[in-house]
Structure 1
Amino acid sequence: MSIRIWLSRPHMSGKEQAYVDEAFASNFIAPLGPQLTEFEARFADYLGDGVHCLGLSSGSAALHLALRMQDIGPGDEVWVSSMTFAGGVFPILYERATPVFFDLSPNSWTIDADLLAEALAEAASKGRLPRAIIPTDLYGQSCDLDRLEAAAAEYGVPLIVDSAESAGASWNGRKCGTGGDLSILSFNGNKIITTGGGGMLVSRNKEAIERARMLSTQARDPAPHYEHSTYGYNYRMGNVPAAIGLGQLEVLDDRVTRRREIFKRYTETLGGIDGLSFMPEPDAAYSSRWLTTLTFAPELCGVTREEVRLALAQQGIESRPLWKPMHLQPLFAGSRYVGHGFDEALFWNGLCLPSGSDMTDTEQDEVIARVLDVLRIADHPDRRHDDASQMRF
């Protein structure tokens, strides 16, 4: 069936068109222009904390440049959250470095700071510290910036925070995107705000941002001709996408408010059911709730994640399993993994429900009703046969 209720689709505010019209009227259609400069400056103001911003073609491009800023190279170890999008790991391979994957904390569903601290102490005792640490802000929730920054500083290891999924969220009042030595953001089409694709590299280190800016435009040295003393990339964000971003930035906090409302309605209607557990929010966190995520314990609720997902799909409702941890991916078979398999359990039992800020209450009510339908069928096994043609488990 065709999709009627999307997981998270772009949500335009109407403000974007005026900025795009300005870009067209001025003929700044080529990659660079005033809208891009303004988008970078306004986002830096939004984030605060004295940061500088560089608009890029994707969050993965931002992460790749962050690794270049730290001179990551062949054979270097980079410690990273295992449960993340592939684009949060592939840039490590671009530099022929070696990822080491870390489990999540049950208290936050972000990288386990205890495991990381223990591993750092052990690595330091052996003189084998990693060259960088990349924790992921998962599904709109910040990792524990306080503990991670302290641990990284204690051992002198650069911290690159992958905030691709958490624009608009915060940790102890600090906006996501301001953590570590460098942070990255994503404006992909399914993110809380979008430029149709795009990302941003953020740092308080202005020199690092300026060097990344040079590398992102094919590493052209200052000269009237094309002069290159190193290699670079075609990674800059275009001026027209930045114009869209300017309109989206104006409603970012509104989008966060709406997604938190959606999360609250899900928890109020489904949160009391045995076997259903939603992503927790630590006291220090203010999650954007980019996606509402929950797990199903079949031994308690009688259904699996996959049964729920397929039942929703049959009604034209898009949902999705949580990220499959990178250490379970065929590409990374045999890679080192530090953890107890909590992230594996999240993957096998976890589901992302429709969470787009343009989803109506009526649409959300339908999602909730369909989930409840599946659970009721589980309570009455004799109904499974009658509904089999509709549910298609």
Structure 2
Amino acid sequence: MSKKIFLASPHLSEEGYEMHYVQEAFETNWIAPLGRNVDQFENEFSAKVGVRAAAALSSGTAAIHLALKAAGVGEGDIVFCSTLTFSATANPIIYQNAKPVFIDSDEETWNMCPTALEKAFERYPEVKAVIVVHLYGLSADMDRIMSLCNKFNVPVIEDSAESLGTYYKGQHTGTIGAYGIFSFNGNKIITTSGGGMLVSNNEEKIAKARFWATQSKDQARHYQHSELGYNYRMSNVVAGIGRGQLKVLDQRVEKKRYIYEFYKQHLSELEGIKFMPTNDWDNPNYWLSVILVTKNVRPTHIIDALEASNIESRPVWKPMHMQPFFKKHDFIETGIAESLFQNGICLPSDTKMTDKDLRRVVDTIKKLWCE
């Protein structure tokens, strides 16, 4: 069996940046939560993406949860949410006992459709917040989305878990709305093994999020808690990995783009294959290279063929409105998200892949068109 090719796996720096900061944590005995690495990771990350404040947390899910809390979302409130996403985007809405309303995608971005969003505002003018996802590193149409949300004075939370390094009209995704969240899960473009970041230009809100994330411990000699708290802070060791990974972010984005262009060059000739969209205002990180297949070869055929060759791939996210847990919630439909789910496949986009690995993926797929 040939070596396994992963969809997207952790990729530590060849220079050993991560170990330098982790070793520092051990040498100073600050392996427990908080410490210099946490403070510096927050500072370095906020400087990298161009935002005033950041809070390093245990996961991107925790970041969405605290963003909703900071936005004042509570029991019974309506939250608009992209339907084409991973469940971690929507679950925190339920944590806050709020009600999600799922918004379909458009063809131009694969992300939240502004036209559907406008219809949602007409139906639910009392909405409390909007969570927009930048799927697979593709930016949503933020000008149109922000224009609508500003008109109704509703805060936007950008789920940028998959889009660190993506620019929308020269601005980092995650820094356009009121709050941005990022994930450092093992499959993300940079990883801390597990972790996330909440960012905002509202420094007071980020300070409050840090307070909630550290069990809402009041400033008192004894343990005192006046608010509900959470154990959501990132550890000093994990933050050290993040500091090292941040140094190679630009290299990882460059490799992701190379992988996408390789696939596009070698697979575009196949009848019935369409690549994920790009726009003049969008500079994606191409976290995953995604194709649509619209002819006789189906996504399952490709997944099975790749799996037989020890190559990992996966379907496009199953939309939230189709998930058993979320089916009871309202959905503003365009029909795009379901089509993407039915016809899409995420190709291996691991930044450690060689040209030989990429050719192996391409050759495996091409054989299906010859059968």
Q: Where do 1:310-349 residues align within 5 Å? A: 310-349=304-343
Once the two structures are aligned, what percentage of the paired residues are identical?
45
The gaps in structure 2 that reach 5 residues or longer are none
Please tell me whether the aligned partners of residues 3 and 318 of structure 1 are also in contact (alpha carbons under 8 angstroms).
no
1:141 alignment partner, one of 138, 143, 147: 138
Aligned CA distance change for structure 1 residues 3 and 216 (closer, same or farther; 3 Å): farther
How far apart are 1:2 and its partner, in Å?
8.9
Structure 1 position 151 matched with structure 2 position 180: no
Please tell me whether the aligned partners of residues 74 and 98 of structure 2 are also in contact (alpha carbons under 8 angstroms).
yes
How far apart are 1:136 and its partner, in Å?
0.3
Q: Which amino acid aligns with 1:136?
A: V
Aligned CA distance change for structure 1 residues 85 and 3 (closer, same or farther; 3 Å): farther
How far apart are 1:237 and its partner, in Å?
0.6
- Cα deviation, 1:186-209, whole Å, max 9, x if unaligned, reads 000000000000000000000000
How far apart are 1:119 and its partner, in Å?
2.7
How far apart are 1:272 and its partner, in Å?
2.7
How far apart are 1:334 and its partner, in Å?
2.6
Mapped partners of 1:118, 1:286: distance in 2: 28
1:244 alignment partner, one of 241, 244, 247: 241
Mapped partners of 1:39, 1:3: distance in 2: 35
Structure 1 position 363 matched with structure 2 position 357: yes
Q: Which amino acid aligns with 1:70?
A: A
- Secondary structure at the aligned position of 1:330 is classed as coil
2:183 alignment partner, one of 186, 203, 208: 186
Please tell me whether the aligned partners of residues 275 and 296 of structure 1 are also in contact (alpha carbons under 8 angstroms).
yes
Q: Which amino acid aligns with 1:205?
A: N
- Secondary structure at the aligned position of 1:229 is classed as coil
Please tell me whether the aligned partners of residues 57 and 196 of structure 2 are also in contact (alpha carbons under 8 angstroms).
yes
Mapped partners of 2:352, 2:196: distance in 1: 22
Moved segments of 4+, more than 4 Å: none
Mapped partners of 1:337, 1:43: distance in 2: 35
How far apart are 1:244 and its partner, in Å?
0.4
- Secondary structure at the aligned position of 2:198 is classed as strand
- Secondary structure at the aligned position of 1:303 is classed as coil
Structure 1 position 198 matched with structure 2 position 192: no
- Secondary structure at the aligned position of 2:291 is classed as strand
- Cα deviation, 1:211-259, whole Å, max 9, x if unaligned, reads 0000000001111111111111000011111100111000101100110
Please tell me whether the aligned partners of residues 82 and 325 of structure 1 are also in contact (alpha carbons under 8 angstroms).
yes
- Cα deviation, 1:95-139, whole Å, max 9, x if unaligned, reads 11111111111011111112212332x247xxx331110010100
- Secondary structure at the aligned position of 1:135 is classed as strand
Mapped partners of 1:133, 1:333: distance in 2: 19
Mapped partners of 2:304, 2:201: distance in 1: 45
TM-score if structure 1 supplies the norm length? 0.92
- Secondary structure at the aligned position of 1:331 is classed as coil
Q: What is aligned with 1:73?
A: 74
Structure 1 position 294 matched with structure 2 position 291: yes
Q: Where do 1:302-313 residues align within 5 Å? A: 302-313=296-307
Q: Where do 1:243-282 residues align within 5 Å? A: 243-282=240-279
Mapped partners of 1:192, 1:338: distance in 2: 31
Q: What is aligned with 2:97?
A: 96
Mapped partners of 2:352, 2:263: distance in 1: 16
Q: What is aligned with 2:160?
A: 163
Q: What is aligned with 2:37?
A: 35
Mapped partners of 1:114, 1:340: distance in 2: 9
Structure 1 position 12 matched with structure 2 position 15: no
How far apart are 1:374 and its partner, in Å?
1.2
How far apart are 1:318 and its partner, in Å?
0.2
The structure with the larger Rg is: 1
Aligned-pair RMSD on alpha carbons?
Answer: 1.2
Please tell me whether the aligned partners of residues 319 and 351 of structure 1 are also in contact (alpha carbons under 8 angstroms).
yes
- Secondary structure at the aligned position of 2:54 is classed as strand
1:233 alignment partner, one of 227, 230, 233: 230
How far apart are 1:51 and its partner, in Å?
2.3
Q: Which amino acid aligns with 1:12?
A: L
Q: Which amino acid aligns with 2:84?
A: M
Q: What is aligned with 1:391?
A: none
Mapped partners of 1:228, 1:30: distance in 2: 21
How far apart are 1:339 and its partner, in Å?
1.5
- Secondary structure at the aligned position of 1:100 is classed as strand
- Cα deviation, 1:152-183, whole Å, max 9, x if unaligned, reads 11111111111111001110000122121111
Please tell me whether the aligned partners of residues 51 and 178 of structure 1 are also in contact (alpha carbons under 8 angstroms).
no
Please tell me whether the aligned partners of residues 35 and 236 of structure 2 are also in contact (alpha carbons under 8 angstroms).
yes
- Secondary structure at the aligned position of 2:12 is classed as coil
How far apart are 1:3 and its partner, in Å?
6.8
TM-score if structure 2 supplies the norm length? 0.97
Q: Which amino acid aligns with 2:250?
A: D
Q: Which amino acid aligns with 2:217?
A: R
Mapped partners of 2:222, 2:280: distance in 1: 55
Mapped partners of 2:127, 2:318: distance in 1: 24
1:23 alignment partner, one of 3, 25, 44: 25
